[in-house]
Amino acid sequence: MFKKIIAGLAVFSLAACGNGAASGGADPEKKSIRLAYQAFPSGDLVVKNQGLLEKALPDYQITWTKFDSGASINTAFVARSIDIAAIGSSPVARGLSAPLNIPYQVAFVLDVAGDNEALVARNGSGVTDVASLKGKKVGTPFASTAHYSLLAALDQAGLKESDVNIVDLEPQDIQAAWTRGDLDAAYTWLPSLAEIKKTGKVLISSRELATAGKPTLDLGVVSTDFITNHPEAVDAWRKVEAQALDLIAADPAAAAKAIGAELNLSPEEAQEQLSQGVFLKPADLASDEWLGTPDKVGKLAGNLVSAAEFLKGQQKIDAVPALADVQKAIYVQGLPGVLG
């Protein structure tokens, strides 16, 4: 994993030299925000599509860059190329652990993974359940929530990682490999999940794994430097993300129209995919179950430590961070009032 981070670093460093990105939003004198987003149905895409952050912060230069997985986002944070990102809880657990120790903080919960992430066996592969994946080829984006969930599903079924041929593929590459018949199964998320389900069978979903004690989430994280230098911009970002959650709850059709435009889906397709995720109410974010408040950090910190413990057992990280250190990486300043 660390080699992958270092390799990616060179790419991001070169890109930064070419366009000035590396000097961006952490500078207190420069009003710019570099956001990393991913192509999965969430309120983050509502914020992007409707220009909510641009309206809230007209004096800021705001740049949105698409990333395909949490691993590449972690690489970008290491390279200081982004300020705010939508990223899964498993890569965040990695990022807060050695050897990465990325200086960022969790400031929002975008969604809780439900049926929007799942392990699917291709029709004709001979795979009927997770246990029958032994010796089969399974695609998933490494260092993602889907990868974490795949390892958890294998462990639950009594299989070791070495029992399965796991290949590192981004969601769009999974679709292409699936069409060619190169994969027996894949663990991925929407919208690629919807495509492979057309010719496959769901073996287990992230909703089921959450019930079994291995929950995954999509989080909003912010670099510590950016929080220090632009706290008012972080407040504005949290507020518009909360507005997006309110829209998903109150008018899912309107939210789906915005999300569909970002994912090249019809509003009907987007709404169906949106219904497969679990979206919190803004008021829930400051509860003990999730982020918490300045007086008491919520249980999300423990969730991330548990994820790190599992990853350490799978030899994916060097060491598990202390709970106190992870609690310091949960940004609760101003909660719940800052959400509006």
pLDDT, tens digit, 9 for 90 and up, residues 174-188? 999 999 999 999 999
Torsion of CA 56, 59, 61, 63, to 10 degrees: 0
The predicted model gives 292-298 an average pLDDT of: 97
For residue 30, name the pLDDT band (cuts at 50, 70, 90).
confident
pLDDT, mean over the chain: 92
* pLDDT > 50? residue 267: yes
Give CA–CA dist 191/171, Å, rounded.
Answer: 9
Query: Structure tokens of 97?
Result: 């652990």
* pLDDT > 80? residue 9: no
Strands 32-38 and 61-67: parallel
The predicted model gives 184-193 an average pLDDT of: 96
- Counting residues of the chain whose pLDDT is more than 90, the rounded percentage is 89
Contacts of 308 (CB under 8 A, 6+ apart): 93, 94, 96, 97, 317, 320, 321, 326
Query: Structure tokens of 49?
Result: 């599509």
For residue 26, name the pLDDT band (cuts at 50, 70, 90).
low
Q: Enter the DSSP assignment of 319.
A: B
Q: Which of 96-100, 142-146, 218-222, 324-328 has the lowest mean pLDDT?
A: 142-146
- Look at residue 5 in the predicted model and tell me its pLDDT: 37
Query: Structure tokens of 103?
Result: 């200086």
- Look at residue 25 in the predicted model and tell me its pLDDT: 56
**What is the amino acid identity at position 115?**
D
* pLDDT > 80? residue 118: yes
CA angle 194, 198, 199 (to 5 degrees): 130
Give CA–CA dist 97/319, Å, rounded.
Answer: 6
The predicted model gives 164-193 an average pLDDT of: 97
**What is the amino acid identity at position 276?**
Q
Max CA separation in the chain (angstroms): 59
Cis before 191 (ω within 30): yes
